[in-house]
Amino acid sequence: MTSQPNEPEDFAEAAERWDLDRLYADLAAAKEDVGSHPRQGLTSTEKTHLRGLLCGYSPVEMARILHKTPKGLYADLAKTLYRYIEILTGNPFSSWNKIVPGLAEAGYRKLSPRRSQDWNLAPDVSIFYGRTHELALLQQWIVGDRCRLVALLGMGGMGKTALAVRLAQQIAGDFKYIGWRSLSNSPTVPQLLTELLGFYPHTQGNPLDFYPLLNYLQNQRSLIILDGLENLLAPGELAGKYRDGHEEYANLFKQVGTTQHQSCIVITSSEKSREISLLDSLIEPVRCLNLAGLEPDAAVKIIKDRQLLDEHKWDDLIERSSGNPLALKIVCGIIKGVFKGRVGEYFRHKTMFMGMLREVLSSQINRLSDLELQIMYQIAISGEPVDIEQLRQWISASVPMSGIMEILNSLIWRSLIETIGQDDVTLYTIQPMVRKYLINLFSQPDIGKLP
């Protein structure tokens, strides 16, 4: 009688990154401490559940794959593996997604020599300031919570690109493949897919089809960073709409966000796209992080590194730049070069130097629709936060209140206005450097008046 071939194990890819034989043996020993009678090793079901957890699948996802009920699987894990792992590591686990980091810390993850990294034109971030909280949060999202799609959002100069590079370097050991691509040249989806598939050996498939990439994302844990999504979005309209010829990106990101896989795509952008906003509100493995200014200690480090004087005025310098790293570096450079590092002397001239930041803001302001620009200007000249009723008075009566809400939401997606909760009213404001740029822009004789 001929023997039947063994069926492939569920979650077999866990063996690529974990020392399963040693882990099975050590958990079997821990299992003997559970209950009143010793048991003989891990059962095949326990091994399957363990491999699923090590591959990053939640109990709900595992139940679906294994054709079990989530409630039954949760109960089984609580009675078996969770207890063995706690005994083995000496640590209680409050959530299933804490188990993988805990076992990795205990030394069961393999150090794989076969890793492929393609950094392309990623910038050097050997000098990096702050963002400790953001890095920890993003690492939890990607490594702990196994997010599939993460967007880093923020206005120009906030350091989105630098943060993405530092993040990728920090969590590189958790991925077999890492790829970086800039979207500054506005590639079409087929062009991008061709490049992304080039990360992997023995690539087959049509770059017009998402399946080959999704197949790799499912079977080869990969981290892909796409830098500068705003280059693919249409200017002159409300935020989030793709340019002609780039609409298929919406479908690509929907597939990445909703298809079950073990990889992550990180996007940086000064503008949120519509499908990412929708996925962020509906799909747990898709998340957005809006970058605010640097924490005070990191901003102070930038000033110290440039050896500026008048330390008692540094807080004012940080506040005027809103903690924007690029803005702070630019103004520190001018103070160092023109005023010998004297911050007080710079302030005596009662100006806000913008330098190269003007080009960054120009690229964002030039993307606005006419009504967005009108609202931005009205907020700028008001000099203080305003509510929606005040904006209603300044905007043409032909624009309904729902239209004003859409415009405000679009400006929030562009990271150009900020909201403040005051009692039961929401106020809208803009950063000092954006206010100065807009006022200067409309004071030029060739601009003259609003649309």
Domain definitions of the chain by residue range: 12-106, 116-290, 296-351, 362-443
- Reply yes or no on whether the pLDDT at 144 is more than 70: yes
Q: Which of 290, 243, 21 is nearest to 134 (CA)?
A: 290
C-alpha to C-alpha distance for 384 and 150, rounded to whole angstroms: 33
Contact 271, 213 (CB under 8 A): no
Q: How confident is the model at residue 233 (pLDDT cuts 50, 70, 90)?
A: very high
C-alpha to C-alpha distance for 304 and 139, rounded to whole angstroms: 29
Contact 280, 151 (CB under 8 A): yes
CA atoms 319, 325, 330, 335: torsion sign? positive
- Reply yes or no on whether the pLDDT at 33 is more than 80: no
Q: Which two tokens stand for residue 212?
A: 């080959």
Q: In the chain, what percentage of residues exceed pLDDT 70?
A: 92
pTM over 0.85: no
Q: Which of 154, 164, 136, 142 is nearest to 289 (CA)?
A: 154
- Reply yes or no on whether the pLDDT at 218 is more than 80: yes
- Cβ-based burial of 205 (10 A; exposed 0-12, middle 13-18, buried ≥19): middle
Q: How confident is the model at residue 39 (pLDDT cuts 50, 70, 90)?
A: low
Task: Using alpha carbons, list the distances in angstroms from residue 446 to 260, 343, 441, 442.
Answer: 54, 34, 9, 9
Cα atoms in the 13 Å half-sphere on the side-chain side of 286: 20
pLDDT tens digits along 339-350: 999 999 988 888
Contacts within 8 Å (CB) and 24+ apart, 41-48: 42/84, 45/76, 46/80, 46/81, 46/84, 47/20, 48/9, 48/10, 48/11
Tell me which of 3.40.50.300, 1.10.10.10, 3.20.20.70, 1.10.8.100 is the CATH number of domain 362-443: 1.10.10.10
Q: What is the DSSP string of 30-92?
A: HHTTSSSS---S--HHHHHHHHHHHTT--HHHHHHHHT--HHHHHHHHHHTHHHHHHHHHS--
CATH topology agreement for domains 116-290 and 362-443: no
pLDDT tens digits along 376-422: 999 999 888 999 998 888 888 788 999 999 999 999 999 999 999 88
pLDDT tens digits along 261-317: 999 999 999 999 999 998 887 667 999 999 999 999 999 999 999 999 999 999 998
pLDDT number for residue 91: 80
Which among 163-177, 195-209, 271-285 has the top mean pLDDT? 163-177
Q: Which two tokens stand for residue 228?
A: 């500068």
- Cβ-based burial of 327 (10 A; exposed 0-12, middle 13-18, buried ≥19): buried
pLDDT number for residue 199: 80
Q: What is the DSSP letter of 22?
A: H
CA atoms 94, 97, 102, 103: torsion sign? positive
Q: What is the DSSP string of 362-410?
A: HHHHTT--HHHHHHHHHHHHH-S-B-HHHHHHHS-TTS-HHHHHHHHHH
pLDDT number for residue 282: 65
pLDDT tens digits along 88-119: 888 877 677 778 778 877 888 775 445 588 88
The values of phi and psi at residue 386, to 5°, are -130, 155
pLDDT number for residue 141: 93
Tell me which of 3.40.50.1000, 3.40.50.300, 3.30.200.20, 3.40.718.10 is the CATH number of domain 116-290: 3.40.50.300
